[in-house]
Chains A and B, each alone.
Chain A
């Protein structure tokens, strides 16, 4: 039974997970770390799996192009399509960098911000979405990893110019 007038309770429990992973007789001051070899092995496995990323993300980019096409054809339903694009872009921005495609993360972040609620639904917005998708497609098609160096800078500049051009049309 609790004391009356108690405003704050602290719950302290036995560390069962520590017992499960290091045993009962562990010295309280022992330093417990992952084995370096194991971490390298895991990193290598993640890298191997990552090699499939471009093929996978291309299917997502194709899906985005399909949603974009619907934005063009169906102005009334545009809000819902923008939300769909925003949700996909959110996932993509968290993934590209994990697999070495930083530009996908950067462009997806731009697309995510650009399609956020209240960002606008004009034809110019639809064109700017397409400019982002075109940039992403080039990155994957050409397998441009990291920041892409000069080519990456060129694609970014091209996207910025497209955004500017269509923004001025608003």
Chain B
């Protein structure tokens, strides 16, 4: 077994509650991440991400490797930020891992974020173990990205399960309509 060294990973925390923000930032730091920044809401996050891309020295961060973001914020909430990351023309890294932190566990909400391309969900109340689990999953179990006319985001199928009945998939990896791009 090897230990995880997160000292070179950088995390952006987006959370409007100062108390929760401070807990998240400190917990992530204690887990070994040296470069952690935090902002109040999605619009500040967009500005910061742009600044990191344009002028990392001024931003004080060379890259944003992982975003940990609350859902309920104003004016730009977590889902709107996720949409910007995955779909906006100004977003330079549409593959960026995005962990959505939320008190919402309603299936409709989970579905909504999944369809928008969320990488991981972390429900409130959270523990150090749940933060560690999500970081571990994002770093060591990344999923390929899928782009169709209605979806762009991490593959929603997390594991290959053998098909017991008829194979009803329209396309497989061998179909001419499917392209695999190594980026």
Contacts and interface: CB of A to CB of B under 8 A. Distances in A.
Interface of A: 2-3, 5-13, 15, 17-18, 20-23, 26, 30-35, 38-39, 41-43, 45-46, 49-50, 52-53, 56, 87, 90-91, 93-99, 105
B3 A11 contact: no
Contacts of B171: 7-8
A18 B181 contact: no
Contact of A45 (B17, B26, B145, B179): B26
A128 to B, nearest CB: 21
Contact of A15 (B3, B26, B142): B142
B76 to A, nearest CB: 15
Contacts of A105: 125
Contact of A6 (B124, B138, B177): B177
A9 B139 contact: no
A60 to B, nearest CB: 9
Choose among A8, A12, A13, A90 the residue with the greatest number of B CB atoms under 10 Å from its CB.
A8
Contact of A3 (B20, B136, B173, B176): B176
A42 to B, nearest CB: 4
Contacts of A90: 72, 103
Contacts of A94: 102-103, 123-125
Interface of B: 1-6, 8-9, 17, 19-20, 22-23, 26-27, 30-32, 65-66, 72, 95, 97, 102-103, 123-129, 132, 136, 138-140, 142, 144-149, 155, 171, 173, 175-183
Contacts of A13: 95, 142, 145, 182-183
B94 to A, nearest CB: 9
Contact of A12 (B2, B97, B144, B175): B144
A33 B180 contact: no
Contacts of A9: 146-148, 178-181
B146 A87 contact: no
B114 to A, nearest CB: 17
Nearest to B177: A7
Given A9-B146, A9-B181, A46-B26, 14 more contacts: A5-B177, A10-B144, A11-B95, A12-B180, A18-B140, A21-B5, A21-B8, A32-B136, A39-B128, A42-B31, A49-B22, A52-B19, A90-B103, A95-B17
B9 A20 contact: yes
Given A32-B140, A46-B23, A39 B177 contact: no
A50 B128 CA distance: 12
26 contacts: A6-B177, A8-B178, A9-B148, A10-B146, A15-B140, A17-B142, A20-B9, A21-B5, A21-B139, A22-B140, A32-B3, A34-B132, A34-B136, A38-B3, A39-B132, A42-B30, A42-B31, A43-B127, A50-B23, A87-B72, A93-B124, A95-B20, A97-B125, A98-B124, A98-B125, A99-B125
B177 A18 contact: no
